[in-house]
Every structure is written in C-alpha cells, then in structure tokens.
Amino acid sequence: MKQSWRLLDPALVKPAVVESFKKLSPLAQLRNPVMFVVWVGSVLTTVLGIHALFGKGEASAGFILGIAAWLWFTVLFANFAEALAEGRGKAQAAALRGSRRNVVARKLAAASREAEVTVLDSASLRRGDIVLVEAGDTVPADAEVLEGVASVDESAITGESAPVIRESGGDFSAITGGTRVLSDWLIARVTANPGEAFLDRMIAMVEGAKRKKTPNEIALTILLVALTLVFLMATATLLPFSIYSVTAAGAGSPVSVTVLVALLVCLIPTTIGGLLSAIGVAGMSRMMQANVIATSGRAVEAAGDVDVLLLDKTGTITLGNRQASAFLTVPGIAEGELADVAQLASLADETPEGRSIVVLAKTRFALRGRDLHDAHFVHFTAQTRMSGVDLGMRRIRKGAADAIKDHVSAQGGQWPQAMAELVEQVARRGGTPLAVADGSRVLGVVELKDIVKGGIRERFAELRQMGIKTVMITGDNRLTAAAIAAEAGVDDFLAEARPEDKLKLIRDYQSEGRLVAMTGDGTNDAPALAQADVAVAMNSGTQAAKEAGNMVDLDSNPTKLIEIVETGKQMLMTRGALTTFSVANDVAKYFAIIPAAFAVTYPQLGALNVMGLNSPGSAILSAVIFNALIIVFLIPLALKGVAYRAMAAGPLLRRNLLVYGLGGLLVPFVGIKLIDMMLGGLGLA
C-alpha cells in the first residue's frame, strides 16, 4: 500500500486543475473566509470591468479586467494548492479501495473446525460472528484469532511483502480484512461491522476532503479572519474619506472601487490564507507516506507539540534479542565446566537466548556431540522461571537468579555470596544474569546482553535539543534498566513497569501540563494508549490496542514514534514559517500599493514610493500579480514542508524570523519591481 507521488505528477495535477475550478463555488469558498473575500472582490471587479467596456467605468476596462483576472488567478492558485494536497489523499484512498472487495466467508456456528459451516458474502458478517480462514483464503473482515496459528500476507495493507505470524492469545492475534492467509488455518471472531473495519477507517482518514481542522489551525483561521475584518473595515472607510478630501480640496478624484479591492486583497493575509488548508492536508499525507494512519488531524498536530516520549526498551531502544555474551563463574569453578553445564541445560531451549548459549559454548570450548539417550528435558514455564535437563540423578537448571536459588536450597545446597555479587554486576552492566546450577552446586552466571541500537543515542540527543524528554519503559529490574538507560542516553526510565504504572506515569506528566506520546501493541497497553495525547498502536498488535490509539503504524516499527513526532513538528514549523512570510509580505506590499492608490487624492504619499514604480496603475497591477504568483511559488513548500531541524523553540523562532520574516519583507520589493519593469517593457505601465 505504501506509495509516493511526485509533487507535480500528472496523475495528481490534472484532477487538481479541474478541482480548482469546481472550488470556485461560493459554498466551497465560504469554508475559507480569507479567500472568500478575494472571491467577492474578483466578482465585483469583473462586473465593474464589463461595465467599463460600455464606456461607463471608473477606470479603463483593460486596467479593471486585468485586476479582475489576477484576482481570479489568486483564488484559483489557492484552490489548486488545496486540491493538489487533497489529491494525494484521494489517490491513497483509491489504492486502499482497490484492495477492499467482498469475498466468500465461512461462518462457523461455534469456535471449532467441526462446527456447522455457513458460506456467505463477507458483507453479511457482523461483529461477534465466528469465521474459518484457511491457506489461500482472504480474511473477510477485521477479527481476533481464537484458535490456530497461520502465516498472513499483509502487503495489501502495509506494502511489505514479508508475511507475519498471527495466533490466538498474546499481542499478535488481530487480523485485518483484505489480508491473505498463506499457510495453516485460523478460527477468528469478527470485531467490526461492515463500514466500520480498519480499512474503511483508513480510507476515511486519508481522504483530505473529509479532514477536520485541528485546534491550532482553527485558532490561526480565527486570527486571519480577524485581520481580514479589520482591513475590510479600514478599506471600506477610505472611499468616503477620499470623496470628502476631494470635495473639500476642490481638486483631484476619489479613489476607485477597483483600487480599493486591490488594496484590500494585498492587505489581508491571502498567502497563508490560500495555503493553510493545503499545509494541514499535506501533513496528513506525509504521515501516510510514513505508513502511519492518523485517526485525526488533532493527533498529527499534537505530535508536533509533544514534549515527553515514552518508549519501550525491547525492540525500540534495543535490538530485542538477548544473546549470551560471557560465562562468569563463582570461585572454584572452571569456565569450561560452567559452559558445559549451561549448554546441556539449553540443548532443548529453542528461544534465541537458549540457542545463543549453545553457540557460545560451542565456539569457546568446542562442545558438541553429546550422549543424551537418558535425558529428560525440563522446559521453561512462567511459574518455575527456569529450564534444564535431568541426566540420571543430575538436576541441571538455568534461569532467574531467585528461582535457581530456591532450587539449590531445595537440593540442600547454599547460595554463595560471590554468586549474589555476580548477579548484581551483570545487572549493573545492563545485562540479564542467567544463573546455572548442577544439583546443589552453584556454578555461576551466563550473561545475556540486549544490544542498544546503533545511532539511537544520537536520536535521543536531537530530541533533547528540541526540548523533548525521553522515558524508557521496561519490565527489567532497576539495575538493568539504569544501565540500558545510561547507554542509550534516555532522560529517565520506568523499571518493572506494569500497565497501571504506565497509566500513572502518563497522568503524572499530563498533570504538569505536558503532552505525552507512547507506543504499544498489547491489550495491557490499551489503558495507557487511551490516556496518552499521541498513542501509536502497532498494526501487528491487538484490536484493543488499535482501538485505544489515535495512530496506527502499519509497519509495526516501535521506533516510528520518533519519526511521527518529527513529522508533526515539521507541519507546525511549515505553518509558522509561511505565516511569518505572509505577514512580512503584506508589510512590504503596503509600500507599493498605498502610495499608488492615493497618489491623486494625497500626493504627499508619493514619498513612500521607495520602489520607484512607473505609475499608480502599474504599481497596483504589479502588487496584485505578485500577490497571486507568490502562492504558486510557495505551493511546493506548503506540500513538502520546511526542512526539519532538531532545534529548541527559541533558536527555531529566531531562525524563522530571520529567514522567513526578513525574506518575506525583501522578496516583494524585488518581485513587484521586476513585474513593474516587465509591464513597462510591454507598454502596460
């Protein structure tokens, strides 16, 4: 499903051009008050221009119609920016719709393969129905696995070709409608009615036209409307003042309505007004390109304001696969003996940790070719927290230190102080101590180490520069957690974390007025995800987690949270930068259009013509043309976003004021002067 489109892809541009004209409807323009004022001005000047063609105009027909044409272009360019941004979402939604189709479903009367089967259309399924899907079948609806283990192709949803395992229980029990079972079989309970499935929600969210404005965007819109009203009232009062001045002086002529419309359009913040909606739609689109479904624009915006990140240790900060790295013995025990016993205890252990112990012993001491004809293997359980093998009268065990301590005591042995020191040393280094005993004899510790991901420390340093606090969450003991936290460079950590601990931590931060983001994939993460301001659920996780989150990561990559925060901040930076540029633009345009507009009524204002423009008519037309063209030049920036920089708010504000504030002030002087020179060269000045 993951797909990217070039900025000016013909497949997007052509529909956007058509949509730009459709959006000229007054009802469509009313959604954007700033551009609606420009639209009204376009209609008014068009009527005045047509009137002037019959010799009854307040100015030449060419001048009035020229102003009208560029005002229409201003509205069209703003419509085009929004339509182009929405086009990406519509293209992504169309791709998703292509993957959604009705399939034949096998509904079971009970959760058993022997139960009565009813064959029906997938659209007839309802929440709570039980279905059977076998190898080669398309999953008919969103469901939770009740029985079975199967390999599932989710490429229609995630774009990734590698199949994933789905099984009953645990955090990998959710299956999505439209995916395909590659092997084995599953019995699952439907979790969504038709039209409410995950794929339907995805389509609704990526449709830019259905996007709701975020609180920040609403606040900025209110500000822009307020500025527009202020300038509208100010401009409306200029005509009677002008008429009064001409009457009192007995000379000159009052300012024309066409000039006042041009003045109003150049005074109000048309640049950001025309691009504001496009920026918001593009932010949602960038999330989608990162393979993240945001269930609300509010979540995308909140991601940009997040100042606390809660990150799971395993798989996010570390690689997640603990490997045996050393054999540490108590006094009187040879390292080779510990390796020999640890390998024996791990021969039937199919976990990555168990296999790594076998490999390490084989590599270090060439241990292989065991005679195990009378062996009885003891597998790990959550209750015993140890595993091993019984060889005749020998009881070989490896496992958690306290579990092995109890086992040794039951065998009549003693727990040496040196062993306690070894366990603490390994924990302090961030490793996991795996105690090993042969009957009542304590031999030592196998050190398991979870490797911190390369470059993660630098990423956390960047987040710290942005004023974001990183908190690692882990079920490890405090010593292990502290060591990993120090190595990874996180600001804080929560050890031995339970679901209620995560929830309390989030509430504590929120009570301080901070915005919190976290990731999760399990049912036990659902309460914390529901509480967090930005909650990213893994697509591979449970249905409960996905329902609780306000974003779903289709790649199920826990580190994606960092990218999500950066994308949210980029959207806010883009909006702030273009707002700064727009306001600075307006200040510069005053020097072009105000002296020209009142040159006849108030000749003294000619001193403000610092650009040395050819004539009042040329100055007004140049300012209106620049006002339209600047939107065109800023469309790529609005859609792609300003370059992301990991900076604190203060330095970032200063930089934006320098680049976009000063730039916005200088560009109109250059642009309007160049347009004026071109008009002069064409004999239109």
77 is in an annotated binding site: no
- 312 is known as an active-site residue: yes
| 654 Cβ contact list (under 8 Å, min separation 6) | none
HEC states along 167-203? ECCCCCCEECCCCEECCCEEEEEECCCCCCCHHHHHH
Which of 137, 142, 153, 312 is an active site residue?
312
Torsion of CA 366, 369, 375, 380, to 10 degrees: 50
Establish whether 380 is an annotated binding residue.
yes
Q: Which residues, 6+ apart, have CB-to-CB distance to 543 below 8 Å?
A: 142, 144, 173, 174, 191
Q: Which residues lie across from 311 on neighbouring strands? A: 472
The answer on whether 247 is annotated among ligand-binding residues is: no
Could you tell me the end-to-end alpha-carbon distance of the chain, in angstroms, rounded to an integer?
54
Q: How far is CA 7 from the centre of its chain?
A: 19
Q: Would you say 235 is a known binding-site residue?
A: no
Question: Do the annotations mark residue 649 as ligand-binding?
Answer: no
**Is 353 known as a binding-site position?**
yes
Q: Any binding-site annotation on 386?
A: yes
Residues 623 and 263: their CA atoms lie apart, in Å, by 9
Alpha helices by DSSP H, 532-615: 543-548, 560-597
Burial class, 627, CB count within 10 angstroms (exposed 0-12 / middle 13-18 / buried 19+): buried
Place of tokens 């140890």: 386
DSSP 112-181: STTS-EEEEEGGG--TT-EEEEETTPBP-S-EEEEE-EEEEE-HHHH---S-EEEESSTT--EE-TT-EE
CA distance 188 to 144: 5
Looking only at the bridges linking them, the beta strands covering 469-473 and 308-312 are parallel
Quick check: helix, strand or coil at residue 359? helix
Q: Confirm or deny that 555 is annotated as ligand binding.
A: no
233 is in an annotated binding site: no
Residue 92: closest CA among 201, 195, 3, 211: 3
Phi, psi for residue 517 in degrees, rounded to 5: -120, 145
The neighbour count for residue 83, using CB atoms within 10 Å, is 27
619 marked ligand binding residue? no
- 521 annotated to a ligand binding site: yes
> Which residues are annotated binding-site positions for Mg(2+)?
521, 525
Residues known to be catalytic: 312
Binding residues: 349, 353, 380-387, 398, 521, 525
Residues of the binding site for ATP: 349, 353, 380-387, 398
